[in-house]
Amino acid sequence: MNLNLPPSIRSKRRNMILVGFTPGPNNPKDLDSFLWPLVEEMLQLQEGIKMVWNAGMEEYFTLHAYITIVTADMPGREKLMRMKGKYSSRYISHLLGRDMMLLSLLNEC
Protein backbone atom coordinates (compact mmCIF):
# COMPACT_ATOMS: atom_id res chain seq x y z
CA MET A 1 0.00 0.00 0.00
CA ASN A 2 1.42 3.35 -0.98
CA LEU A 3 0.77 5.64 2.00
CA ASN A 4 1.71 8.69 -0.09
CA LEU A 5 -1.55 8.31 -2.03
CA PRO A 6 -4.84 9.86 -0.89
CA PRO A 7 -6.83 7.56 1.44
CA SER A 8 -9.63 7.22 -1.11
CA ILE A 9 -7.40 5.34 -3.61
CA ARG A 10 -4.70 3.97 -1.28
CA SER A 11 -6.32 0.55 -0.78
CA LYS A 12 -7.36 -0.07 -4.38
CA ARG A 13 -5.89 -3.24 -5.89
CA ARG A 14 -3.89 -1.33 -8.52
CA ASN A 15 -2.05 0.55 -5.74
CA MET A 16 -1.06 -2.48 -3.68
CA ILE A 17 1.83 -4.89 -4.14
CA LEU A 18 1.40 -8.59 -3.43
CA VAL A 19 4.84 -9.86 -2.46
CA GLY A 20 3.97 -13.49 -1.94
CA PHE A 21 1.60 -16.15 -0.79
CA THR A 22 1.82 -19.75 0.37
CA PRO A 23 -0.95 -21.76 -1.27
CA GLY A 24 -2.91 -24.76 -0.15
CA PRO A 25 -2.00 -27.88 1.74
CA ASN A 26 1.56 -28.02 0.35
CA ASN A 27 2.77 -24.85 2.04
CA PRO A 28 6.42 -24.66 3.18
CA LYS A 29 7.27 -26.53 6.36
CA ASP A 30 9.78 -23.84 7.40
CA LEU A 31 7.98 -20.55 6.80
CA ASP A 32 10.95 -18.50 8.04
CA SER A 33 13.21 -19.77 5.26
CA PHE A 34 10.46 -18.99 2.73
CA LEU A 35 10.09 -15.42 4.01
CA TRP A 36 13.79 -14.65 4.61
CA PRO A 37 14.45 -13.03 1.18
CA LEU A 38 11.52 -10.65 1.81
CA VAL A 39 12.79 -9.87 5.32
CA GLU A 40 16.28 -9.07 4.00
CA GLU A 41 14.86 -6.77 1.32
CA MET A 42 12.55 -4.99 3.77
CA LEU A 43 15.42 -4.43 6.23
CA GLN A 44 17.39 -2.70 3.47
CA LEU A 45 14.38 -0.60 2.48
CA GLN A 46 13.72 0.34 6.09
CA GLU A 47 17.23 1.78 6.35
CA GLY A 48 16.72 3.56 3.04
CA ILE A 49 18.21 3.38 -0.42
CA LYS A 50 19.99 6.64 -1.21
CA MET A 51 20.18 8.38 -4.56
CA VAL A 52 16.97 7.04 -6.13
CA TRP A 53 15.91 9.23 -9.06
CA ASN A 54 12.42 10.73 -9.05
CA ALA A 55 11.73 11.54 -12.70
CA GLY A 56 8.57 13.51 -11.90
CA MET A 57 10.31 15.90 -9.51
CA GLU A 58 13.69 15.62 -11.30
CA GLU A 59 15.62 15.06 -8.08
CA TYR A 60 17.23 12.30 -6.05
CA PHE A 61 15.71 11.05 -2.80
CA THR A 62 16.15 8.28 -0.23
CA LEU A 63 13.63 5.49 -0.75
CA HIS A 64 12.12 3.87 2.34
CA ALA A 65 9.55 1.07 2.47
CA TYR A 66 7.78 -0.69 5.34
CA ILE A 67 5.38 -3.59 5.63
CA THR A 68 2.05 -2.04 6.59
CA ILE A 69 -0.48 -4.85 6.10
CA VAL A 70 -0.25 -8.62 6.41
CA THR A 71 -3.33 -10.71 5.69
CA ALA A 72 -3.90 -14.43 6.01
CA ASP A 73 -6.52 -17.03 6.71
CA MET A 74 -6.63 -18.34 10.28
CA PRO A 75 -4.20 -21.27 9.83
CA GLY A 76 -1.79 -19.07 7.90
CA ARG A 77 -1.94 -16.32 10.51
CA GLU A 78 -1.31 -18.81 13.31
CA LYS A 79 1.71 -20.18 11.50
CA LEU A 80 3.05 -16.71 10.65
CA MET A 81 2.64 -15.53 14.24
CA ARG A 82 4.12 -18.80 15.55
CA MET A 83 1.00 -19.61 17.51
CA LYS A 84 1.41 -23.29 16.62
CA GLY A 85 4.26 -25.56 15.65
CA LYS A 86 7.67 -26.16 17.20
CA TYR A 87 8.34 -22.47 18.01
CA SER A 88 4.89 -21.66 19.43
CA SER A 89 6.14 -21.62 23.02
CA ARG A 90 8.51 -18.74 22.15
CA TYR A 91 5.64 -16.63 20.85
CA ILE A 92 3.41 -17.42 23.82
CA SER A 93 6.21 -16.68 26.30
CA HIS A 94 6.83 -13.38 24.48
CA LEU A 95 3.16 -12.47 24.90
CA LEU A 96 3.14 -13.51 28.53
CA GLY A 97 6.27 -11.47 29.20
CA ARG A 98 4.73 -8.43 27.53
CA ASP A 99 1.45 -8.84 29.41
CA MET A 100 3.25 -9.26 32.73
CA MET A 101 5.23 -6.08 32.04
CA LEU A 102 2.01 -4.19 31.24
CA LEU A 103 0.36 -5.50 34.40
CA SER A 104 3.30 -4.37 36.52
CA LEU A 105 3.16 -0.90 34.92
CA LEU A 106 -0.59 -0.67 35.60
CA ASN A 107 -0.09 -1.71 39.21
CA GLU A 108 2.45 1.09 39.70
CA CYS A 109 -0.10 3.74 38.66
Q: What is the pLDDT of residues 55-68, one digit of tens each?
A: 888 999 998 888 77
Q: What is the pLDDT of residues 52-103, one digit of tens each?
A: 898 888 999 998 888 777 777 777 777 777 666 655 555 555 555 555 555 5
Looking at this protein, which amino acid is placed at residue 66?
Y
Between residues 29 and 43, which one has the greater pLDDT?
Answer: 43
Mean pLDDT value across residues 36-49: 87
Of 31, 16, 8, 23, nearest to 67 (Cα)? 16
Q: How far is Cα 79 from Cα 87, in angstroms, rounded to an integer?
A: 10
For residue 21, what is the DSSP state?
-
Determine the pLDDT at residue 20.
73
**How high is the mean pLDDT of the chain?**
75
